Amino acid sequence: MEPIAIAFPVLPGKSEKARQFIKSLKTEHARDFAALEKKLETTKEAVFLQSTPNGDLLIDYYECAHPQKSAEAMAALKDKFAVWMRGEISDITGIDIEAMAKEPMPEQVLLFGF
């Protein structure tokens, strides 16, 4: 599996919504989220909310077989949960996941102990 991390800027005033969104992936949307992770071949995922002087960031670390293909698949899914999830991410970060999937993945500059 390949590790990948993506930092998403949190729009001003959206940090609490980000917390609630992530919490919902562990509670009321847990089944749908687990099914999505399986579809995307994601084996591990961790999300962090990082406060900085320039605003908050959501940092998404995950491991999957093919990160670029996984991102493209997430952008293309049309099921109700995936559409909802992309909408929530866009509302919290201002980032269009469908457009982002066409961009290169973040550059890995250090990998230790994998």
Determine the pLDDT at residue 81: 98
Q: Is the pTM of this model over 0.85?
A: yes
- Strands 57-64, 2-9: pairing is antiparallel
Q: At what angle do helices 80-93 and 67-76 cross, to 10 degrees?
A: 100
Delimit the domains of the chain by residue range. Answer: 2-100
What's the CATH fold of domain 2-100?
A: Alpha-Beta Plaits (3.30.70)
Average pLDDT over residues 90-95: 98
Cα separation, 24 vs 64, whole angstroms: 22
Cα separation, 10 vs 89, whole angstroms: 9
Nearest to 6 by CA among 110, 105, 114, 82: 105
Cα separation, 50 vs 95, whole angstroms: 17
The predicted-structure confidence for 27-83, as pLDDT tens digits, reads as follows 999 999 999 999 999 999 999 999 999 999 999 999 999 999 999 999 999 999 999
Determine the pLDDT at residue 90: 98
